[in-house]
Structure 1
């Protein structure tokens, strides 16, 4: 950690670094949104592709960075926790805030519901299957009972599925009749702005992960829990900003497409890339699957709301926020051991 070599490694400093890093993530996400929007318009991409691929991949860069840094630091469970926690935040909170921010309600369409949402459900299932295969075929003899090694060949499975997703999006682009491109913007400048935003986000996330890791060691916070709360909330900031701004501009398709496309990228690309970089990582199936189960329930809830009249009303938005509140309560109960008390352990 760059800052750690200059400032003392104490809790107050780590908290300050987390706050400052989150601010820079917010700054980088603003640049990213602006440049991605102009580039998508210049190249004539459909709104759903703009949201689910271009903007989604860019705004998912913090999650991808967190996985890479945690994998290199040997704390991969923290990275997986960040991905899953961010995905739950994206599915429940961001559509809710986008719906509340829009003019009355957030409109969607059948493409979002039947292609993006359903493919995302497949992505969640594919990741669970990949983790299960790691436990079955590459168990960890000296680790927890349900621990397995996620190897590079297994990591290729979700990547291949994402390749199918890109192919489907490419078909949409080939069938789309784009409007005439505007020459009022400098393409080279926008590409430079996009690159600068990714660099800012990359450095900020590296500092964020290092500070959270230090705090987790200081206070004995489990790696997965630290990832699913602190890192997940901070790295979800670009997705939230992009989607809420799109909703305010009456671009509901782009807003929801960013959420679903970002989550699909996180699950099928971000986690596998971390594995490909370090070779293999240990996955605790008993810890990861309950969180993925919550993510599945959250996805089903969002799918049901989207399919109802193809829009998100204010009432439905508050339902999503309430569901996230229940998730936070469950996380806190797990942290203080209340769930073990209920089980009689």
Structure 2
């Protein structure tokens, strides 16, 4: 177990360092080739933080651990919103750009609905996975076309996000960063998947639970770092955009690629179909009313997100242990906590409307 724990930590470090190297190298290389910083920000940087999820899920699918591949994506998307936005909102209330509200959040909700619909029959086949991957290509192309009509202020904002260091200005260094980053991602993903599967078997916990919790949070480390740094620097709309963009990429590109490389597609466990997929869908929809109430995620809403994530993880722990208190816990969540949250959001919405008028 000690060796497996060491492999897990080293794999996680390799994923984080590899993702950073890949994003930096690809961003600088794209700008060197004359691609605008806005396009790079909307595609390479936004999607690059999901490279660990891609590496882990594809590696898990190739090794036959499809439950881990599904759990990694579903768990990462839940953690991205509840955990990362919750922590970031505690650092500073998060302002939300209008484009994210009217475009990216609906795209994320639509992608979540598509994945849930595909998974209801117990699996995501290779043809369905190919469709998901085609959708992310179409979405990226749309962003590139849209960026050409972007305002100068938006372009300048993304330009400020590009690295300004001198040591990586040469294309050779940039290419080396891309190749080295990809290599670290592949290596780290292999170590992480092997260690996670060993943990699951040793503790009698399913691959799905490991993917939904430990692996999901681990592969979300780049998103956590990016969003927290953006919130601390006052670039609070970027913190939200990073999370939403990562969720879209996870659903379309990561699940698409993992499903295509798996010989039999991705099998979806009953536990995920009965609970976790619906939590992911509910969390995606939860973004919409909170954003519409004032184009801001306040600190108290960040606390609410963190509370829900804690409750979700506690549910997974109880379910893994088949604990006797699980039915009572579920009943309390559905009967009291969820309705109270809805009432709180409605009251908040009415107060903000009153203050605005």
User: How high is the TM-score relative to the length of structure 2?
Assistant: 0.80
Please identify, of 283-292 and 201-210, the stretch whose mean Cα deviation from structure 2 is larger. 283-292
What corresponds to 2:112 in structure 1? 124
Alpha carbons of structure 1 residues 125 and 51: separation in structure 2 relative to 1, 3 Å: farther
Q: Does 1:162 pair with 2:136?
A: yes
Partner Cα separation in structure 2 for residue 249 and residue 280 of structure 1: 45
For residues 195-247 of structure 1, the C-alpha deviation after alignment (integer angstroms, 9 at most, x for no partner) is 42232232112101111111212222111111111211111111111221122
Please report how far the alpha carbon of residue 248 of structure 1 lies from its aligned counterpart in structure 2 after TM superposition.
1.9
Question: Is the 2:96–2:237 Cα contact (8 Å) retained in structure 1?
Answer: yes
Q: CA deviation at 1:169?
A: 0.8
Alignment of 1:97-116 (within 5 A): 97-101=87-91, 104-116=92-104
What residue ranges of structure 2 are gaps of 5+ in the alignment? 329-357
Aligned ranges 1:64-83 → 2 under 5 Å:
64-83=54-73
In structure 2, the partner of 1:263 is 247
- Structure 1 pair 299–187 and aligned structure 2 pair: CA distance change class (3 A): farther
Give the length in aligned residue pairs.
Answer: 316
User: What per-residue deviation string (whole Å, max 9, x for no partner) do you get for residues 174-210 of structure 1?
Assistant: 1124459989661513343244223223211210111
Structure 2 CA distance for aligned equivalents of residues 258 and 15 of structure 1? 30
Separation of aligned partners in 2, 1:39 and 1:323: 40
**What residue in structure 2 maps to residue 20 of structure 1?**
10
Q: CA deviation at 1:17?
A: 1.6
Gapped runs of 5+ residues in structure 1?
A: 1-10, 136-146
The reply to whether residue 327 of structure 1 matches residue 312 of structure 2 is yes
| CA RMSD of superposed structures (Å) | 2.7
**In the superposition, relative to structure 1, how do residues 278 and 29 fare at CA in structure 2: closer, same or farther (>3 Å)?**
closer
CA distance in 2, matches of 1:183, 1:318: 36
Give the structure 2 partner of residue 44 of structure 1: 36
* Paired position in structure 2 for 1:5: none
Among 74, 78, 84, which residue is 1:94 paired with?
84
Q: Which residue of 2 aligns with 1:173?
A: 147
Of stretches 241-250 and 279-288 in structure 1, the one that deviates more from structure 2 is 279-288
Q: CA deviation at 1:21?
A: 2.1
Secondary structure at 1:280 match in 2: coil
Which residue number corresponds to residue 237 of structure 2? Answer: 253
Displacement of 1:307: 2.3
Q: What TM-score does the superposition give when structure 1 sets the normalisation length?
A: 0.82
Shift of 1:285: 5.4
Contact 2:79 2:217 in 1 (8 A): yes
Q: CA deviation at 1:264?
A: 0.8
Aligned twin of 1:235: 219
1:31 and 2:14 aligned: no
**Distance in 1 between residues matched to 2:40 and 2:298, nearest whole Å:** 24
Is the CA contact 2:61–2:266 (under 8 Å) kept in the aligned structure 1?
no
Deviation larger for 293-302 or 273-282? 273-282
Aligned counterpart for 1:310 among listed residues 295, 307, 315: 295
Is residue 203 of structure 1 aligned with residue 187 of structure 2?
A: yes
Is contact 2:318-2:326 (8 Å) kept? no
